[in-house]
Structure 1
Amino acid sequence: MGESSMTQQSESTAQRADAPASFVPLAEPRPLGGGRTWPKSFADRLTAPLPGLRALARFAREGALRPPPEALTRIADLPFAPGPLPAVDARTVAVSWAGHASWVLRIGGLTVLTDPVWSRKILGTPARVTPAGVAWSALPRVDAVVISHNHYDHLDAPTLKRLPKDTPVFVPAGLGRWFTRRRFSRVTELDWWEAAELDGVRFDFVPAHHWSKRSLVDTCRTLWGGWVLTDLEGQRVYFAGDTGYGHWFREIGRRYPGIDLALLPIGAYDPRWWLKDVHCDPEEAVAAARDVGARRMAPMHWATFLLSAEPVLEPLTRVRAAWRKAGLAREDLWDLPVGASRVLAV
């Protein structure tokens, strides 16, 4: 080991010695791209069992995946206010909500898409009830894409087909082959707590309370999770992907202190007995924002596809009430209409 390396290692050791007891050193960024060998199943990462035959029978008797007819009359009231993307520089962090879990995230001079779904219709789901809030033609060059998991409302082949094949893509463990089969050439697969770096922006893959499945034979064959993006200024955005509420949020907050903005799901939660383990309700999303120590929260995963039985506007009214009940500053709840943007103050 050279003198410079030993000096850096000594400084790093000293920093760890002075750090709080809860300090967890972050993983060194992995090289971009490259094939990796993964286990055949990630079922051991589940934090709750998947529904069994008894639950499926109950759902067949009484379950519903659409709001009641009277609630559907409120679709016209869903917030939709598309506007131009904000001007940014390399020190600016800005987010624009395209709908569902799709964000145009500007950080460290990069434009990053999260779970991009610009299609009007996805397999097994009624057509979207609000259009994509950001026109595809209005996007700047896309510098990277992050994917949380392989469900069709988060991994949309027609949308991804629009991207150049050399777009850097960051995906959960086991999902890289899906992209390389479609000729994407810069695909980086990560396990939980692993990281990669692109042009000064760090991409950390973190756990979620969810699962994966895309066909009849691939349950939990690929991993699921969220992403923490950090720029050179130390500004941090947490994209939770799709997740239920649970212990991982506190651990994420412990490892990544100073999260400036948490993008958290608030919809697709009713019936609760069926969806609680994999989808936060609005009150749980607010609790998750507090658990990770986020300074601000932007709700997502609602107002786009009607995936469950809650009334269409209920996620918004409940998240606002939960935020207020928690005594949090109103300006720190970024409850954006589909298509709107917000810029982090430096």
Structure 2
Amino acid sequence: MFIQITTKISELISRNIHLVKSFQKIFLTTAVILLSGCQTFLDVSDNLLRNFSKPEQARFYVNDPVKDSVSLSVLWIGHASALIQIYDKVIMIDPLLTNNVAAVLRRHYIPAINLEALKKCDIILISHSHMDHLSPGSLDILEEKFPSANLVFPEGAEDYIPGYSFKLSKLKMADLSNKYIGDSVSIDGVKIFSIKSVHWGGRYGIDGKLWTDKGHCAYIIEYKDMCIYYSGDSSYDESLFKFIGRNFKIDLALVNIIFCDSCTELNQSKSHLYPMGAVQILKDTGAEYMIPLHFGTFTNVNAQIKVLKKMMHKDDEMKGKIKILNLGEQIILKTN
């Protein structure tokens, strides 16, 4: 009887080997996403059902993302992806332009940018090599449209970047001799500094935690009289963020967060910032404005925005400084 049952099971598996391989892929990739710490188990398990439906259209969809007379603007594409315009320069951070991360984590909303209307992209910044920040499929899309763009990334991430026609700039991370600032590069007048992030590198979560710490950083971007800080993924470090505040006059801080409902902690497991951690960074750096990123793309963004506004807009000063964007919304912070 036992032999008959096992034989039947073997036959069933053989006839449906493609399904078995699909489930193996889903299981392994889900484990990688969870190990990276960028999504909770509940988020990932809930999101798996979305693989059977199409991503929705974002409420906002800007048809002319690059504008004249802009000194500083930001368009939130989704997750940690944003389009920054500083005068005549256009910079995209951590582009995620595909509908899935690693073929498993499905977007709730399509990438909220009209790429056909995007006439230029001078610089692409990659903060680290985790799957939701370094997306080869997204780089393929950008390479086809902007083959001569500059691609900037931290040392260690190059292992996961195949050959591209982009102009490549690999920046060393901060180390013991330079505690907070690593390499810098100047690209057509834009100065970009590699800044320490309290996170980890690698590609698959466990590799970055166990045997490599390369391939992750934050950035300072300076152009003309503007200075932007992009945190990448990081947890809170008081001395780091106060150092940034002392050494740079930050016009805008773009800070990646993990969404939570009414939490008061600054950090999520010493790997990411909760909303209150982003608020503290605004205070420590003395930034004129702060925009939270890295939430809502794989879940119901509108519900999360309502919660974030309640948590972060505690008074008129914070409401004026913290700009919580709708998905696809573009905010013009300064004009010339």
Query: Structure 1 length normalisation: TM-score?
Result: 0.70
Q: What is the DSSP-based 3-state SS (H/G/I as helix, E as strand, rest coil) of the residue aligned with 1:158? A: helix
Contact 1:282 / 1:315 at 8 angstroms: preserved in 2? no
Q: What is the DSSP-based 3-state SS (H/G/I as helix, E as strand, rest coil) of the residue aligned with 1:161? A: helix
Change (3 A) 1:182 1:90: farther
Q: How many Å separate the matches in 2 of 1:90 and 1:208?
A: 33
Q: How many Å separate the matches in 1 of 2:84 and 2:267?
A: 32
Pick from 140, 154, 162: which aligns with 1:172? 154
Aligned match of 2:167: 186
Aligned match of 2:28: none
Bigger fraction of residues in helix: 2
Q: Give 1:1-346 correspondences, 5 Å limit.
A: 64-66=41-43, 80-89=59-68, 92-123=71-102, 125-162=104-141, 163=143, 164-179=146-161, 181-190=162-171, 191-192=173-174, 193=181, 194-215=183-204, 218-219=207-208, 220-232=212-224, 234-247=225-238, 248-257=240-249, 259-268=250-259, 275-306=268-299, 315-325=304-314, 328-346=317-335
> Which one-letter code corresponds to 1:333 in the other structure?
I
> Which one-letter code corresponds to 2:67 in the other structure?
V
How many residue pairs get aligned? The number is 275
Q: How many Å separate the matches in 2 of 1:325 and 1:216?
A: 35
Change (3 A) 1:244 1:137: same
Change (3 A) 1:223 1:81: same
Q: CA deviation at 1:110?
A: 1.3
Q: How many Å separate the matches in 2 of 1:208 and 1:245?
A: 9
Q: Which has the larger displacement, 86-95 or 188-197?
A: 86-95
Q: How many Å separate the matches in 2 of 1:326 and 1:276?
A: 28
Change (3 A) 1:64 1:175: closer
5+ residue gaps, structure 1? 1-55
**Could you give the per-residue CA deviations for residues 193-252 of structure 1, whole angstroms, max 9, x where no partner exists?**
2211111111111111111221488423533111111111x2111111111222322222
Identity among equivalent pairs (%): 25
Bigger fraction of residues in strand: 2
Change (3 A) 1:281 1:80: farther
Contact 1:261 / 1:294 at 8 angstroms: preserved in 2? yes
Change (3 A) 1:127 1:188: same
Contact 1:79 / 1:303 at 8 angstroms: preserved in 2? no
Query: Structure 2 length normalisation: TM-score?
Result: 0.71
> Which one-letter code corresponds to 1:331 in the other structure?
G
> Which one-letter code corresponds to 2:288 in the other structure?
R
Aligned match of 2:8: none
User: Higher RCO, 1 or 2 (CA under 8 Å, sep at least 6)?
Assistant: 1
Contact 2:236 / 2:267 at 8 angstroms: preserved in 1? no
5+ residue gaps, structure 2? 1-34, 175-180
Change (3 A) 1:251 1:124: farther
Q: How many Å separate the matches in 1 of 2:308 and 2:170?
A: 33
Change (3 A) 1:199 1:223: same
Q: CA deviation at 1:84?
A: 2.7
